[in-house]
Structure 1
Amino acid sequence: MPYLPPLDDFRLILTHLAGYPALSKTELFAEAGAETAEAVLTEAGRLAAEVLAPLQRVGDRQPARLENGVTRTPPGFGEGFRAIAEGGWIGISAEESSGGMGLPLSLATAVNEMFSAACLSLQLAPLMSQGQIEALEHHGSDEMKALYLPKLTSGEWMGTMNLTEPQAGSDVGALTTKAEPAGDGTYRITGQKIYITWGDNDFAENICHLVLARLPDAPAGTKGISLFMVPKFLPDEAGAPGAANALRVVSLEEKLGLHGSPTAVMAYEGAKGWLVGAEHGGMAAMFTMMNNARLGVGAQGIGVAEAACQMALAYAADRKQGRAEGRGTIIEHADVRRMLATMRAQTYAARAIALLCAGALDRAKAGEAAAAAEAAFLTPIAKAFGTDTGCEVAQLGIQVHGGMGFIEETGAAQLARDVRVTAIYEGTNGIQALDLVGRKLADGGEAAFALIDKAVAEAEAAREALKPLAEALWQAAEELREATERLLALPVAARGAVAVPYLRAFALVIGGQAHLSAARHGGAERLALARFYLLRMLPEHQGLLAHVAEAGEAGLPTADELLA
């Protein structure tokens, strides 16, 4: 079905919640004012709707395949990627010195969401390159930047991330891929990597793999990991793709969804590579890639949620079933309206959190000291809640369709299949929650309390005009403050059992702030959705915070009890 970019949502959030007008007045982003932002969002939305959305079903029905060692991508994917590249969208937030636009990540996040909503399988390709671009900007040598960054931002070459091995998933420190010095400043990389998104394709001139590996006598665990650039084709003296490197695609994974995206098992057989960053400094570079990707993956979940909302709304407005007053279609049924309202309200909340996170990263880059801590705290929330939202809203979309949602021809099932992995990769959502209650609370809760204070300030600003909604947000924020204080009193090791419900409760409160802001600055439709969220969805936070009140693992069965 057609995709309609949610441009009004982006405008409302960026203007009234995420602080874009002030950001565009900073020296760094002085060229990214309201007119530029509007042009970027409008043009990216047009590309998503007209070029990428028609590829969504193609990729599912004609998946990527490996033929005699050559990866064949779905019809139209090469042209779709070139349209993304030629529009400059890969390098939208990359440095201008690298050939990028140098625009705020706030705009890049909105663009990534729209592309994800249109065709997630294809959007994964530029996302991988974006993560590699950021890693090289921070950790690459001047020579490496000069060679790779212009080609990655232009889309001539594509980037990947090679982290996972059969025995080393979330436990990255267990990897065994080896890197032997060749004596000429290069290294020979040997090992196998799995789950490599867009590990190969048939339209890019070169595929640039960032590979985690161990140098000889490296320390065990994560302290002994280094990062290497290992291209598919070795650049010649002119920087053009030359001889084939000693690497190959062993197979493409057969997956639940994302069939248009080739996920490769890669074999490195003494492949030539170059060190990125310092020896044993691979984790620092990896986290640069991962943090970029975590926000990007959160936007992917939100994009799929938006697509599911639009599909379900269109179906409910057209489907005649049972006795329905008014329009005479199922959208008049109370429970259908409950599901649709839940889908739309949760999607808006997740979108706002992602843009708040991106805005904080932009402000930090522009020199605002406190923004870095805010961005760090919001990143695991944006990733986990964004992807949980994608999964939950896509499932509700199937339910709205009824039996037709279970039939592949509608496309509703594809959205649920495609988005499911987003809650797993780039660090499972459980790992995001552990990061939140561990590293992100290591400041004594300073960043957490600052965000809670912003929610309270929103409630105070709306108290006169929207008293019941403002009081609901104020109460929830103060209960979150108390739960955070209780959590800080626990040893870090005891927080894991309550990490996931705490993260979601935090997301619900920030979502309430976003909806109250929308009710203050938007029209009647915004008020209706805010009322539904704040009075019917936000109270879920109390049940979630009850986990924290139980203090650590109290009430949680042991492994032996579960296996009994």
Structure 2
Amino acid sequence: MPSYTAPVKDMQFVLHDVLEASSQDIPGYDELDRDFTAAVIEEAGKLASDVLMPLNAVGDQEGCVLENGVVRTPTGFKDAFDKMRDGGWTALDCAPEYGGQGLPYIMQTCSQEPFVSANMAFQMYQGLTHGAYSAINTHGTEDQKQTYLPKMASCEWTGTMNLTEPHCGTDLGLMRTKAVQQDDGSFAITGQKIFISAGDHDLADNVIHLVLAKIPGGPEGIKGVSLFIVPKIMVNDDGSLGARNGVSVGALEEKMGIHGNATCVMNYDDATGYLVGEEHKGMRAMFTMMNEARLGVGLQGYAQAEVAYQNAVVYAKDRLQGRAVTGAEAPDKPADPIIVHPDIRRNLMDQKSFVEGARAFTYWGAHLIDRAHKCNDAKADGLISLLTPVVKGFLTDKGFETAVSAQQVYGGHGYIEEWGMSQFARDARIAMIYEGANGIQALDLVGRKLAQDGGKHVMAFFDMVKSFASKTKGQDEAFDRDFLDPLKAASKDLQAAAMYFMQNGVKNPNNALAGSYDFMHMFGHVCLGYMWARMGLAASKALKDGASDVDFYETKLATGRYYMARQLPATKMHLARIETGADTVMALEAAQF
């Protein structure tokens, strides 16, 4: 049976040694001292290890069941959800006026990581609710906030997002779900949505659906889409629950993974809905939810990689096979543990260096969201907008790849369900698809985000990396060689790719779009390279300052050097691909495939 332990020390290192959270000028960050954040993370880790992890295989094996219109979650999920709710974990960063604790978003992000690693399917019930809470909090009326947010913050009621229809996924302008205004100002919602995560279940008293639909007579395409609150059970004026709304579950999807989460086909039959924000401006409100969700999905990518890596390390230290090529390292045993072999070390170092870099990247992204929202910082807002498709696309691609690599360490046992490694790979796979498939993330990055506001945000990113390198250069010759030189080379590759798009994308847009996926991965590597340079600097400083845990910081430096030497040079490969243009990509006619 797989196990999981929250990497508290590494999480604390990112928060305090790298991001220097408690000294930031962001409201609420002054309270984030080491003792406080350690207490929060350690308690989240205990809940993850003791309660959620034992239910991970249960959820995978039992799945959810639809009986007479009622969705039943796996054994133990309800009790675990009650513990999650009673502990206040669903409302860490929610507003105090709605029952939340008002902590910065970065603490919500940190606390969620152990929950995702321990039981990704379970965590989705509250994760989707948090996104729905944020959308209503940002775009809803005062009455809507008072009606729904206190119960959603506590997860007494959970939330969903309803976008996809059977004939319409990414191209939401094709949707057919309609919303007809009623005499009382509400709308009658009719249509069908599919792939709705946590669409219905027995964990909460009500489910608050956020549904995209078209009001007849509105603009064509995506400009005619509006967003509605559609509760599963109607809410009376006094806040009590009333009659069942015209919302039902048509079926539960049979999926490759995340079996413990109820992925539903949702039917709306003249269901009562309430407009959120302005008519025909639904995507503006939904993107509040989707952007938060995309950072959360990026976290899912590396959090599944983390738990897979932890178990792969244990197995590699225990499994005896062969002898080290340089001589027996366990002469008293019939064979050496497989961790002595260079290829196993390569595999584990790939995993370790990705997970730790991805964690820093994600926490930095959460810090940018806090700065944007709490300080009204337009620069931070523009930067996280640019980086969101990179967080989502790169971290989930590499997260799945890492989970598969961890499975590979087990050899044949990794393919056998009782060892649990298959579930990590299967669960991680969905993160590359939902909340906008990764190909769409790449198109968004290259087609929209690079040119946003005249390209000033990507230029700000390049300036930030350049400024970091210039400020830190010359302090330590080894640091310059091992961290700064590779970072500068990779950043130059990324700039060259952006320049190629500028010079060749206008006359033939396919030249840009054919290279978009490579560019997303190139950008991801540069971001992790930047994070590793910052972590390397922090570790070097700690050692110079006489840190007591020398082994931790030396391990951090060695892991960073590995990423810079073995992973970051991938930018050269991606640049070479991009500069070939679209000719080879588009060479075949459709009939030739």
Please give the TM-score of this superposition, normalised by the length of structure 2: 0.92
Partner residue in 2 for 1:506: 523
Is 1:326 matched with 2:335?
no
Structure 2: distance between partners of 1:171 and 1:374: 26
Structure 2: distance between partners of 1:20 and 1:236: 43
Partner residue in 1 for 2:345: 337
1:76-115 to structure 2, matched below 5 A, reads 76-115=76-115
Distance 1:17 1:549, change over 3 A: farther
Q: Which amino acid aligns with 1:288?
A: T
> Contact 2:93–2:108 (CA<8 Å) still a contact in 1?
yes
Structure 1: distance between partners of 2:135 and 2:504: 35
Distance 1:16 1:452, change over 3 A: farther
Structure 2: distance between partners of 1:223 and 1:270: 23
> Contact 1:480–1:506 (CA<8 Å) still a contact in 2?
yes
> Contact 2:213–2:228 (CA<8 Å) still a contact in 1?
yes
Partner residue in 2 for 1:354: 362
Q: Which amino acid aligns with 2:571?
A: H
Q: Which amino acid aligns with 1:5?
A: A
> Contact 1:55–1:77 (CA<8 Å) still a contact in 2?
yes
Partner residue in 1 for 2:418: 409
For the residue of structure 1 that corresponds to 2:13, the secondary structure is helix
Work out which of the residue numbers 473, 481, 485 in structure 2 matches 1:468: 481
> Contact 1:112–1:300 (CA<8 Å) still a contact in 2?
no
For the residue of structure 2 that corresponds to 1:413, the secondary structure is helix
Q: CA offsets, 1:203-258, max 9 Å, x none?
A: 21001111111112122111111111111111123212211111111110000011
Q: CA offsets, 1:440-495, max 9 Å, x none?
A: 11234322232233333444415524232121222222222232222233336332
Q: CA offsets, 1:252-271, max 9 Å, x none?
A: 00000111111000111111
Q: CA offsets, 1:398-430, max 9 Å, x none?
A: 111100000000000011111101100001111
Q: CA offsets, 1:483-523, max 9 Å, x none?
A: 22222333363321111111111111121122222223231
> Contact 1:459–1:513 (CA<8 Å) still a contact in 2?
no
Structure 2: distance between partners of 1:83 and 1:440: 40
Partner residue in 2 for 1:73: 73
Structure 1: distance between partners of 2:85 and 2:395: 26
Structure 2: distance between partners of 1:222 and 1:335: 50
Structure 2: distance between partners of 1:536 and 1:562: 40
1:62 CA drift (Å): 1.1
> Contact 1:445–1:488 (CA<8 Å) still a contact in 2?
no
Structure 2: distance between partners of 1:554 and 1:257: 37
Q: CA offsets, 1:540-562, max 9 Å, x none?
A: 11001112323x41321345167
For the residue of structure 1 that corresponds to 2:504, the secondary structure is coil
| Unmatched runs of 5 consecutive residues or more in structure 1 | none
> Contact 1:52–1:115 (CA<8 Å) still a contact in 2?
yes
> Contact 2:323–2:329 (CA<8 Å) still a contact in 1?
no
Q: Which amino acid aligns with 2:389?
A: P
> Contact 1:291–1:379 (CA<8 Å) still a contact in 2?
yes
Partner residue in 1 for 2:152: 152
Partner residue in 2 for 1:254: 254
Work out which of the residue numbers 440, 459, 469 in structure 2 matches 1:449: 459
Partner residue in 1 for 2:550: none
| Unmatched runs of 5 consecutive residues or more in structure 2 | 331-335, 540-552
Partner residue in 2 for 1:422: 431
Structure 2: distance between partners of 1:44 and 1:562: 54
> Contact 2:28–2:104 (CA<8 Å) still a contact in 1?
no
1:34-45 to structure 2, matched below 5 A, reads 34-45=34-45
> Contact 1:194–1:266 (CA<8 Å) still a contact in 2?
yes
Q: Which amino acid aligns with 2:462?
A: I
Which of 38-47 and 255-264 deviates more? 38-47
Please give the TM-score of this superposition, normalised by the length of structure 1: 0.96
Partner residue in 1 for 2:544: none
Is 1:527 matched with 2:527?
no
1:19 CA drift (Å): 4.7
For the residue of structure 2 that corresponds to 1:209, the secondary structure is strand
Distance 1:338 1:22, change over 3 A: same
Q: CA offsets, 1:153-175, max 9 Å, x none?
A: 01110001111100111111111
1:49 CA drift (Å): 1.5
Structure 2: distance between partners of 1:19 and 1:138: 28
1:30 CA drift (Å): 4.0
1:39-438 to structure 2, matched below 5 A, reads 39-324=39-324, 325-327=328-330, 328-367=336-375, 368-438=377-447
Q: Which amino acid aligns with 2:582?
A: E
1:366 CA drift (Å): 2.5
Structure 2: distance between partners of 1:170 and 1:234: 30
Distance 1:488 1:22, change over 3 A: farther
Q: Which amino acid aligns with 2:583?
A: A
Structure 2: distance between partners of 1:459 and 1:323: 43
Q: CA RMSD in A?
A: 1.7
> Contact 2:227–2:277 (CA<8 Å) still a contact in 1?
yes
> Contact 1:73–1:260 (CA<8 Å) still a contact in 2?
yes
For the residue of structure 1 that corresponds to 2:83, the secondary structure is helix
Work out which of the residue numbers 541, 563, 566 in structure 2 matches 1:536: 566
Partner residue in 1 for 2:547: none
Q: Which amino acid aligns with 1:267?
A: N
Distance 1:369 1:22, change over 3 A: farther
1:302 CA drift (Å): 1.2
Is 1:545 matched with 2:588?
no
Structure 1: distance between partners of 2:351 and 2:263: 30
Structure 1: distance between partners of 2:371 and 2:381: 8
For the residue of structure 1 that corresponds to 2:268, the secondary structure is strand
For the residue of structure 2 that corresponds to 1:90, the secondary structure is helix
Which of 39-48 and 339-348 deviates more? 39-48
Q: Which amino acid aligns with 2:529?
A: G
Distance 1:213 1:490, change over 3 A: same
For the residue of structure 1 that corresponds to 2:410, the secondary structure is helix
> Contact 1:17–1:356 (CA<8 Å) still a contact in 2?
no
> Contact 2:21–2:32 (CA<8 Å) still a contact in 1?
no
> Contact 1:343–1:393 (CA<8 Å) still a contact in 2?
yes
For the residue of structure 1 that corresponds to 2:89, the secondary structure is coil
Structure 2: distance between partners of 1:382 and 1:562: 36
> Contact 2:73–2:262 (CA<8 Å) still a contact in 1?
yes
Distance 1:65 1:559, change over 3 A: farther
Is 1:477 matched with 2:480?
no
Q: Which amino acid aligns with 1:557?
A: M
1:90 CA drift (Å): 1.6
Which of 215-224 and 462-471 deviates more? 462-471
